[in-house]
Amino acid sequence: MTTRQRGYEVRLMILLSLAFGFVFFDRNALNFLAPFVAPDLHLSNTQVGMVSAGFSFAWAIAGYLGGALSDATGRRKSFLLGAFVIFSLCSCLSGMATSFALLLASRILMGLSEGPIMPVMQSLVVAESSESRRGLNMGFVQNFGSNLIGSTVAPLVLVTLAALYGWRAAFYIAALPGLILAVFIWRYVREPSPPAQVSSGVQPAEAPRMRLLEVIAERNMWLCILISIFMVPWMILAWVFLPLFYVNIRHVALSDMSLLMSVLGVSAALFGFIVPGISDKIGRKPVMIAFSFVGLLTPAAVLYYTGPLTVLAVLIFIGWSASGVFPLFMGTIPSETIPARYIATSLGLVMGLGELIGGVLTPVGAGWAADRYGLRAPIYIEAACALIATVLALFLQETAPAKLSRRRGPHEIKRLVRQRKLITGGMLDFVGWPRDGRGQQLPLSAESRGIPATAGESPTPP
């Protein structure tokens, strides 16, 4: 990789991370403004959960279909441009809502426009990242901006705007950054080279098409889907119900509530690239297990700690480090498990099913439980989600290139690639993916899966 290419990689990661930050700024806006919106529109806890569920449902459907369409057409940049313009306009529609039905409709439209953004972004990251920085870059893009802007800055800015000018004005102002970023994407992002142009001679575009069940049958894929189904609600339940819990149960002032919610953003922004970076060194599996378990600390602290808010903030900060595993199970592990041509589709599948099942059903059920048993119920459900995800992570297969190289050595990996090429005529596919003596899948180098070789990564010899 030349200095110029390296410079573009860095600029692209920064731009995509900031852009996704404002995606989450708009996504989280209603959660932070719920103490203002719910009384004004006379919303119950169940209805608050239904609005969140409607958004997640639309996000899930659009995430999978948009990712698949992007893979089929090979277009990334045009998808991002259209999505940013549409979701910015939907923020204005949220501010115009005068009833539960109109608010729900506006959030569903926003979910449809925002859903494809992360799968398409991560496919750009994989195409432009070196193998040694893939986990770090994917974590940085998905977590740093989204949490620095969407979870740290957003509650401070939006709550202040709502207090001064009303919650409707806060939604209108939230629409502006997305339109500005659409201009930056149009100006600075370029379409990546198609996988078929890889110098190794591997032609992923000609590989046989895979049925959906064959994709899901991969062990890491269905495990990542299940983890997503539990970790997505772990995060969404905190966004949706913690502001209401702080204000209505702990009787925290609105200003203190916004500060406590911003702690989530600071933690996730920091650990969002630290955790994937650690996984580049010690492996994906141990990091997934350890940090998913740490996620229990946030609901436990909220429920049982009764001391100073400063200490509560520290406990929440540590517990929210579990958010750093999201780019691993939503992006890095799937991208290291399957060929490059299916990356956006598979990332959309993991994210989409996580949102569809975990993000749709859980908030509605948690809202009903909150109306029936009190606002502590959603926090207990959040804790259960983290525990189940920890157990699921125990069964993941390791995919980190550095860990696999130490385990088998680079010569063994290259031998397996050459052997597979002789059998397939230069192509790798899902069904015939190389496996070890126990029949377990062997995640290979980026180049062998159709991703162009970059700095320090010479193509696998034929």
Identify the pLDDT of residue 211.
65
Q: Alpha carbon 303 to chain centroid distance?
A: 26
Average pLDDT of every residue of the chain: 80
Q: Which amino acid is at 142?
A: Q
Cα–Cα nearest to 329, from 444, 443, 232, 460: 232
- Tokens 């549409």 belong to 86
pTM (predicted TM-score): 0.67
* Percentage of the chain exceeding pLDDT 90: 31
Query: Could you report the per-residue pLDDT of 142-158, keeping only the tens digit for each?
Result: 778 887 888 788 888 99
Q: 435 has which bridge partners?
A: 441
| pLDDT tens column, 353-384 | 887 788 788 888 998 999 999 999 999 999 99
Q: What is the pLDDT of residue 433?
A: 43
List, in order of start, the domains of the chain with CATH numbers. 3-190+215-393 (1.20.1250.20)
Mean pLDDT value across residues 330-342: 78
Residue 444: per-residue pLDDT: 45
What is residue 406's predicted lDDT score, i.e. its pLDDT? 66
Q: Which residues pair with 441 in a beta bridge?
A: 435
Determine the Cα–Cα distance for residues 351 and 432; give it in Å rounded to an integer. 26
Phi, psi (degrees; rounded to nearest 5) at 441: -65, 145
pLDDT in tens, 348-361: 778 778 877 887 88
Q: What is the pLDDT of residues 192-246, one digit of tens each?
A: 765 533 333 333 444 455 566 777 778 999 999 999 999 999 998 998 899 989 9
Q: According to DSSP H, which parts of 295-398 are helical?
A: 297-304, 309-319, 326-327, 333-335, 343-353, 361-373, 376-393
List the structure tokens of 417.
Answer: 């690639």
Phi, psi of 75 (to 5 degrees): -95, 130
How many of the other CB atoms lie within 10 Å of CB of 10?
13
Q: What is the 3-state secondary structure (H, E, C) of 166-184?
A: CHHHHHHHHCHHHHHHHHH
- pLDDT tens digit string along 61-93? 887 787 777 777 777 788 888 889 888 888 899
Sort 188 into a burial class: Cβ within 10 Å, 0-12 / 13-18 / 19+: exposed
- Mean pLDDT of the region 99-116: 90
What pLDDT does 327 receive?
84
Whole-angstrom distance, CA of residue 147 vs CA of residue 206: 39
Give the model's confidence band at 316: pLDDT under 50 very low, under 70 low, under 90 confident, else very high. Answer: very high
54, pLDDT greater than 50: yes
Q: Could you please report the per-residue DSSP string of 95-130?
A: HH--SHHHHHHHHHHHHHHHTTHHHHHHHHHHHHS-
Least Cα distance to 329 among 309, 313, 303, 349 occurs for: 349
Percent of the chain with pLDDT over 70: 79
Positive or negative torsion for Cα 404, 405, 407, 408: positive
